[in-house]
Amino acid sequence: AKRIFSGIQPSGGLTLGNYLGALKRFADYQGKGAETIYCVVDLHAITVWQEPEKLRHNTREVAAAFMASGVDPEVSILFNQSQVSQHAELAWLFNTVARVGWMYRMTQFKDKAGKNSENSSLGLLAYPSLMAADILAYHATAVPVGEDQKQHLELTRDIAAKFNHDYGVDFFPITEPMIEGTATRVMSLRDGSKKMSKSDPSDASRINLTDDADAIAQKIRKARTDADPLPGSMEGLKDRPEAKNLVNIYAALTGENGDQVLARFEGQGFGAFKPALAEVAVEALAPITRRMTEFMADPAEIDRILGRGAGQAAAIAGPIVERTKDIMGMIRSR
Ligand code: AQP
């Protein structure tokens, strides 16, 4: 059977980008024959500084967001990464397989390390090696993510292939990315060339899953656009990144494609489109926000769910990591 794995970092409040690019789709894969494993990747989050108390809160909040978007811990395995030691262990083994040059080429490293990359954490550089471990510790074959993670997933394939080649085995599967839908790359509301990100310093650049209806409407009203009316098809938005982004968001929220949306708004300006977008955004997000708040009211229950998921995850990852060590020539005498 196919195994699906995906993770989200507890590195701050979740955005509409995280929701449309990833979270929204997770529930759809449940109960369709594949095993679904969803992880709050706290070990990834600490590659940049996290306040410990905030990290705990954010970890529970991401778990709540998974469940609020329909991930059922009775059907999927839901846990936080640091409770399953195999992730860190396999990442170390992969650090000896992956090449330093591969890591320096990652655009996420370049973006996050910025000009002062010598002073970024070693973990930030090795991030993709841990991500490969997250996936391959379960022999997962499919990984639903947003467009921005594509390069990391290619690196996961490279690590699997090099391991198999170096040790003359056919042990790790070559993972397929699942980058699907109309919102695989949601852009910042302030800058159509930057992705919407939870770590963007400007709160106006993103819609947070915890924003209320007024905040959502206000951010959409202030979103950067141009003065032209909307065309009849997506083709006409090629050179209008901000406009294209808003139409794609609308389409992803209503489950249409961009052309279907534009067929209704052709010839209209953003004065008409933005309030309509705010309405569909509030309608889609309000129930999620409400359920997140309900889950967050009982942190002990969230911790219990994560702990149980961690046990289930370790039961799968344990034998795979042991086998990896056998292949590499490590002695196991107990
Ligand atoms: N703007 C986006 N559009 C579509 N998908 C997105 N994702 C993130 N941003 C967008 C997808 O969300 C999932 C979880 O992302 P993550 O938390 O692991 O880290 P990230 O990709 O680095 O997301 P952020 O919001 O930009 O966080 P920070 O600011 O901490 O780096 C992934 O599947 C991702 O593709």
Ligand 1 centroid to residue 330 C-alpha, Å: 36
Q: Is the CB of 42 under 6 A from ligand 1?
A: no
Question: What pLDDT is attached to residue 1?
Answer: 61
Q: Whose CA is nearest to atom 34 of ligand 1?
A: 146
Residue 283 to residue 287: CA distance in whole angstroms: 8
In a domain, 164, yes or no: yes
Residue 141 to residue 205: CA distance in whole angstroms: 34
Q: The domain that contains 141 carries what CATH number? A: 3.40.50.620
Range of the domain at 55: 3-178+298-328
Ligand 1 centroid to residue 1 C-alpha, Å: 28
121 and 213 in a single domain? The answer is no
Closest CA to 48 of 104, 124, 116: 124
Residue 276 to residue 146: CA distance in whole angstroms: 25
Three-state DSSP state, 282: helix
Ligand 1 centroid to residue 197 C-alpha, Å: 6
17 and 162 in a single domain? The answer is yes
94 and 216 in a single domain? The answer is no
Question: What pLDDT is attached to residue 104?
Answer: 96
Burial of 172 (0-12, 13-18, 19+ CB in 10 A): buried
160 and 281 in a single domain? The answer is no
Q: How many residues does the chain have?
A: 334
124 and 40 in a single domain? The answer is yes
**Phi and psi (nearest 5°) for 132?**
-60, -40
Residues annotated as catalytic are 112, 195, 198
Q: The domain that contains 279 carries what CATH number? A: 1.10.240.10
Q: Which atom of ligand 1 is nearest to the CA of 41?
A: 18
> What does the pLDDT profile of the chain (334 residues) look like in tens digits?
689 999 999 998 999 999 999 999 999 999 999 999 999 999 999 999 999 999 999 999 999 999 999 999 999 999 999 999 999 999 999 999 999 999 999 999 999 999 889 999 999 999 999 999 999 999 999 999 999 999 999 999 999 999 999 999 999 999 998 998 888 999 999 999 999 999 899 999 999 999 999 999 999 999 999 999 999 999 999 999 999 999 999 999 999 999 999 999 999 999 999 999 999 999 999 999 999 999 999 999 999 999 999 999 999 999 999 999 999 999 999 8
b/e 175-190 (16+ beta carbons within 10 angstroms → b) = bebbbebbbbbbbbbb
| pTM (predicted TM-score) | 0.95
- Tell me which DSSP letter residue 206 carries: -
In a domain, 285, yes or no: yes
Per DSSP, helices labelled H in the chain are: 16-18, 24-26, 42-45, 52-68, 86-95, 100-104, 107-113, 122-136, 150-166, 213-222, 241-254, 258-265, 270-296, 299-328
Question: What pLDDT is attached to residue 181?
Answer: 86
Give long-range contacts, CB 8 A cutoff, 24+ apart: 224-228: 224/189, 224/190, 224/191, 224/192, 225/270, 225/274, 227/269, 228/269
Question: What pLDDT is attached to residue 317?
Answer: 98
